[in-house]
Structure 1
Amino acid sequence: MAASFFQDVEMAPPIEVFQLTRRYNEDTFPQKVNLGVGAYRTDDGKPLVLPVVKTAEVAIASDTQNHEYLPIVGLPAFREAAKKLILGEDSRALAENRTEGIQCLGGTGCIRLCAEFLKKILKYDTVYVSKPTWGNHRTIFKHANFSNIKEYRYWNPKNRGLDLEGMLEDLNGAPEKSVVILHAVAHNPTGVDPTPEQWKEIADVCEAKKLFVLMDNAYQGFASGDLDRDAYAVRYFVERGFELFIAQSFSKNFGLYNERTGNLCIVTKTPEVLSQVRSQCEILVRTMWSNPPNHGGRVVATVLNNKSSYAEWKAQVKTMADRIQQMRQLMYEKLRAKGTPGTWDHIIKQIGMFCYTGLNVDQVAHLQKQYHIYMLKEGRINMCAITSKNVDYVVDAINDAVVNIGNTQVS
Structure 2
Amino acid sequence: GALKIGAEFINQWFAHAKCYVSDPTWGNHIAIFENADVEVGKYPYYDKETGGVKFDEMVAFLKTLNKDDVILLHPCCHNPTGLDLTHEQWDTVLNVIQEQELIPFMDIAYQGFGEDMDTDAYAIRKAVDMGLTLFVSNSFSKNLSLYGERVGGLSVVCPTKDEAVRVFGQLKFGVRRIYSSPPSHGGHIVDIVMNDETLYNQWVGEVYAMRDRIKAMREQLRSVLESKVEGRDFSYITKQNGMFSFTGLNPEQVAKLQSDYGIYLVSNGRMCVAGLNTNNIEYVANAMADVLAE
* TM-score, normalization by structure 1: 0.70
What is the alpha-carbon distance in structure 2 between the residues aligned to residue 365 and residue 342 of structure 1?
Answer: 21
Which residue in the other structure is 2:197 paired with? 307
Q: Which amino acid aligns with 1:245?
A: F
Is this contact kept in 2: 1:247–1:265, CA < 8 A? yes
After superposition, where does 1:92-103 map in structure 2 within 5 Å? none
What is the alpha-carbon distance in structure 2 between the residues aligned to residue 339 and residue 123 of structure 1?
Answer: 51
1:110 aligns with 2:17: no
Which residue in the other structure is 2:284 paired with? 394
What is the alpha-carbon distance in structure 1 between the residues aligned to residue 188 and residue 229 of structure 2?
Answer: 50
After superposition, where does 1:300-379 map in structure 2 within 5 Å? 300-379=190-269
Q: Which amino acid aligns with 1:216?
A: D
What is the alpha-carbon distance in structure 2 between the residues aligned to residue 309 and residue 296 of structure 1?
Answer: 16
Q: How far apart are 1:227 and its partner, in Å?
A: 0.6
Is this contact kept in 1: 2:229–2:292, CA < 8 A? no
Q: Describe the superposition over 1:77-121 as per-residue Cα deviations: whole angstroms up to 9, x where unpaired.
A: xxxxxxxxxxxxxxxxxxxxxxxxxxxxxxxx1111110001112
What is the alpha-carbon distance in structure 2 between the residues aligned to residue 175 and residue 160 of structure 1?
Answer: 29
Which residue in the other structure is 1:132 paired with? 24
Is this contact kept in 2: 1:245–1:265, CA < 8 A? yes
Is this contact kept in 1: 2:113–2:241, CA < 8 A? no
1:142 aligns with 2:34: yes
Is this contact kept in 2: 1:219–1:253, CA < 8 A? yes
What is the alpha-carbon distance in structure 1 between the residues aligned to residue 123 and residue 17 of structure 2?
Answer: 25
What is the alpha-carbon distance in structure 2 between the residues aligned to residue 273 and residue 119 of structure 1?
Answer: 18
Is this contact kept in 2: 1:218–1:248, CA < 8 A? yes
Is this contact kept in 2: 1:218–1:250, CA < 8 A? yes
1:292 aligns with 2:292: no
State the structure with more CA Rg. 1
Q: How far apart are 1:341 and its partner, in Å?
A: 4.7
Is this contact kept in 2: 1:171–1:206, CA < 8 A? yes
Larger RCO (CA within 8 A; separation ≥ 6):
1
Is this contact kept in 2: 1:356–1:379, CA < 8 A? yes
What is the alpha-carbon distance in structure 1 between the residues aligned to residue 167 and residue 14 of structure 2?
Answer: 10
Helix, strand or coil at the partner of 1:355 = strand
Which residue in the other structure is 2:168 paired with? 278
1:235 aligns with 2:134: no
Q: How far apart are 1:122 and its partner, in Å?
A: 3.0
Q: Which runs of 5 or more structure 1 residues have no equivalent in the other structure?
A: 1-108, 405-411
Q: Describe the superposition over 1:232-262 as per-residue Cα deviations: whole angstroms up to 9, x where unpaired.
A: 1111111111110100100111000010101
Q: Describe the superposition over 1:332-354 as per-residue Cα deviations: whole angstroms up to 9, x where unpaired.
A: 11111223552100010111111
Is this contact kept in 2: 1:341–1:403, CA < 8 A? no
- Equivalent position to 1:123, from 7, 15, 31: 15
- Equivalent position to 1:152, from 43, 48, 56: 43
Helix, strand or coil at the partner of 1:258 = coil
* TM-score, normalization by structure 2: 0.98
Q: Which amino acid aligns with 2:245?
A: C
1:170 aligns with 2:57: no
Q: How far apart are 1:271 and its partner, in Å?
A: 1.1
Is this contact kept in 1: 2:229–2:293, CA < 8 A? no
- Equivalent position to 1:223, from 82, 107, 114: 114
Q: Which amino acid aligns with 1:178?
A: D
What is the alpha-carbon distance in structure 2 between the residues aligned to residue 265 and residue 352 of structure 1?
Answer: 23
What is the alpha-carbon distance in structure 1 between the residues aligned to residue 236 and residue 80 of structure 2?
Answer: 13
Q: How far apart are 1:395 and its partner, in Å?
A: 1.2
Helix, strand or coil at the partner of 1:189 = coil
Q: How far apart are 1:223 and its partner, in Å?
A: 2.4
Q: How far apart are 1:177 and its partner, in Å?
A: 2.1
1:383 aligns with 2:273: yes
Which residue in the other structure is 1:187 paired with? 78
What is the alpha-carbon distance in structure 2 between the residues aligned to residue 113 and residue 320 of structure 1?
Answer: 30
What is the alpha-carbon distance in structure 2 between the residues aligned to residue 240 and residue 125 of structure 1?
Answer: 22
Q: Which runs of 5 or more structure 2 residues have no equivalent in the other structure?
A: none
Most deviating of 337-346 and 301-310: 337-346
- Structure 1 runs of 4+ aligned residues shifted over 6 Å read none
Helix, strand or coil at the partner of 2:279 = coil
What is the alpha-carbon distance in structure 1 between the residues aligned to residue 285 and residue 119 of structure 2?
Answer: 31
Is this contact kept in 1: 2:76–2:121, CA < 8 A? yes
Is this contact kept in 2: 1:124–1:179, CA < 8 A? no
Q: How far apart are 1:172 and its partner, in Å?
A: 1.1
Q: How many pairs does the alignment contain? A: 294
